[in-house]
Structure 1
Amino acid sequence: MSITRLDPVSQSPIPMDEGGPGSNQRDVSTTLNYYPADSGPPIPVIVGETTVTNKRPSIAFGVTVHDVTGRQSDYNLDKNGFQFIHHVSEEKTFDDEERITSLYYKEVEQLLKDVTGASKVIIFNHRARRGPSDWHNAGMNNRLNAGPLFKVHVDQSYDGARLVLDNLLPVESGGAVKHRYQIINVWRPIKTVLRDPLAVADARSVPDEDLLAACVLKPNGRSETWTVMPSASHRWFFKYKQQPDEVLLFKTFDSDKSVARRVPHSAFKDEKHDGDAYRESIEVRALVLY
């Protein structure tokens, strides 16, 4: 059975233990790959059953990615767009698709209900990543051994989120859109993350003006994402040596315009750990309804 730690009074999920001054907090100076501001509209990414083609240009931009270790409770979904939660899954290896969709999906659905108070959660896909850092350059069948994604992006634009809603609830979407709905990604290490960790941007530091809508063509239709243009104002965060029970939730959309609505994210290089084993992680994407 999965375990979500609950506050004894409110019965709401709480972050993992935060540790003290000696808890290995470690900020990383690195570069992130943004979309160049002078490149015009992004060309479509083409996603096939086994191969993905992304020929969009990128520009490496220097950033500091700040480690949240010891201060995880400073960040939450509505203020920053992301939140770290302690959650132990019954699944450990994530190498059986049937177990992922039958067992792990149920755990994630309940986790999101516990964290957000949502009335309904619909999981619409997942992606396990175990492949090499340069998997994108492997050519044909590169999706079969997908690794980290090193381009700053948001999985759904505002219009792209409505496409997800319409596809999942074609009859109900007109009514659902009258209420708050979100798309939240649930990102979990399969093993302790050292190489190519995931960075998330504080949503408040990234204005809409830094986002460009971009088309993704898939076998079952199209979607729309955000590419992101660089800015020194963006504030980036990660959890150093993130463990399998240290789950990162982050929004890719929220219909409530008064709170954090979307979180740019990207894998990044940490030179200290470039020689370590490939990162292993699983990400689940869910439509969250109220």
Structure 2
Amino acid sequence: MPGLISRDVQTTLNYFSKTTDGEQPYNYTYQLPAGQPTTNIDSETHSVTIHDARGHESEFNVDDNGFTFLKSPAKEKLFEDEEAITTGYYKEVEELLRKEVGAKRVVIFDHTIRRPKTEGSPLKLQREPVLRVHVDQTPEAGVARVHRHLGVEAEHYLKGRSRIINVWRPIGNPVAHHPLAVADFRSVNREEELLPTRHIYQDREGSTFSVKHSPSHKWYYLADQTPDEVILIKCWDSDSTKSLLTPHTAFTDNTSPADVPDRQSIEVRCLVFDQE
């Protein structure tokens, strides 16, 4: 794109360091009684360069890199009505995945809205950006998701290709503070840098990956990403010939003006199958 100025950002990211008790890493998703920690993970910061993908969006795809940046305006704009999200917007997400990644069936199992905490706002709208490098699912958790949400149909779908893709979109205004960074799958050593982490709900347990630092990691974001643009983030893929996952994290962009609005975003997590 002629005249485009790159907005690469020098910043720090929070990576896994160690656990406080020497045990397997864990995160509780809910508040425990006073004095009980919700995680045993210690983080360490590392200086990194986040490369601006603006003008180079077509160079990235979910099969090779584990992510892609797409222009995809949504009919839904406010994201304040739960029914409008789970009916209208979910349908838009499903159609997007059918078009862009060849999905034959899409099962959306949840979404998260992140907005700044304000007095009196519902707890479900008080989720803040995650400033720690992570992957949303381990392969075991991916398979478990298929069983949890497909029931007796699970074995049928697990015979073909199964994926979990997170569709991430800004809400209300372009992203300035705390953009989302994604790491190229090809720059990640899965055996040495990914640590299975217990993800504990009140009624069950899943697993994610915490991520150790490597100077080989290649990080990207989309400068000034607008609500008309999405990032597809691969969390799991049963096809071992393709990219399998994407470490990601919010990060602090100190180049952004202080007076611009805080980040708002929605992420929709989807089971994606290559067969009906």
Cα RMSD, aligned residues only: 2.2
Answering whether residue 114 of structure 2 is matched by residue 112 of structure 1, we say: no
CA contact (8 A) 1:21 1:70 kept: no
CA 42–25 in structure 1, closer or farther in 2 if over 3 Å, else same: farther
**Superposed, which structure 2 residues align to 1:3-152 within 5 Å?**
20-36=1-17, 40-48=22-30, 53-131=38-116, 144-152=125-133
Q: Could you list the per-position Cα deviations for residues 83-132 of structure 1 after superposition, in whole angstroms to 9, with x for gaps in the alignment?
A: 11111111111111111001100000111011111110000000010125
**CA drift at 1:55:** 4.5
Asked if residue 280 in structure 1 is aligned to residue 255 in structure 2, the reply is no
SS state at 1:272 partner: coil
Residue number in structure 2 paired with 1:233 = 216
Deviates more, 1:37-46 or 1:154-163: 37-46
Find the aligned partners of 1:116 and 1:49 in 2 and give their Cα distance: 37
- Alpha-carbon displacement from aligned partner over 1:236-276 (angstroms, at most 9, x marks no partner): 00000001111110100010001111000000011122734
Amino acid at match of 2:158: V
Looking at structure 2, the residues matched to 41 and 260 of structure 1 have their Cα atoms a distance apart, in angstroms, of: 29
- In the alignment, the residues of structure 2 paired with residue 103 and residue 35 of structure 1 have an alpha-carbon distance, to the nearest angstrom, of 38
1:185 match: 166
Give the distance between the partners of 2:78 and 2:4, measured in 1 at CA: 27
The separation in 2 between residues aligned to 1:167 and 1:55, in whole angstroms, is 27
Which amino acid letter does the alignment assign opposite residue 63 of structure 2? D
Higher deviation after alignment, 165-174 or 190-199: 165-174
Q: Measure the CA separation in 1 of the matches of 2:179 and 2:273.
A: 29
How far does residue 279 in structure 1 lie from its aligned partner after superposition?
Answer: 0.5
User: Is there any run of 5+ residues in structure 2 with no aligned partner, and where?
Assistant: none
Give the whole-Å Cα distance in 1 for the aligned partners of 2:124 and 2:166.
19
Q: Percent identity?
A: 42
Identify the residue that residue 256 of structure 1 maps to in structure 2: 239
- CA deviation profile, 1:59-87 (whole Å, cap 9, x unmatched): 00111000001111110010101011111
1:269 corresponding residue in structure 2: 252
> Which of the residues 208, 220, 224 maps onto 2:207?
224
The two structures have a TM-score, normalised by structure 1, of 0.86
Number of residues of Structure 1 aligned to a counterpart in Structure 2? 264
SS in 2 for 1:172: helix
Distance 2:213 2:8 in 1: 20
Of 43-52 and 102-111, more deviation after overlay is shown by: 43-52
Does the 8 Å CA contact 2:19/2:42 hold for their aligned counterparts? Answer: no
CA contact (8 A) 2:14 2:131 kept: yes
**TM superposition shift of 1:45:** 1.1
Question: Are 1:154 and 2:139 an aligned pair?
Answer: no
Report SS of the residue matched to 1:35: strand
Q: Does the CA-based 8 Å contact 2:198-2:208 persist in structure 1?
A: yes
Q: Deviations for 1:196-217, whole angstroms, at most 9, x for unmatched residues?
A: 0000000010121210000111
- Tell me, yes or no, if the aligned pair for 1:87 and 1:246 is still in contact at 8 Å: yes
Cα distance, 1:56 vs structure 2: 1.7
Matched, 1:195 2:177: yes
Q: Distance in 2 between matches of 1:81 and 1:58?
A: 24
Paired residues of 1:185 and 1:249 also in contact (CA < 8 A): yes
The CA deviation at 1:175 is 2.2
36-45 vs 98-107, greater mean Cα deviation: 36-45
Question: What's the counterpart of residue 145 of structure 2?
Answer: 164
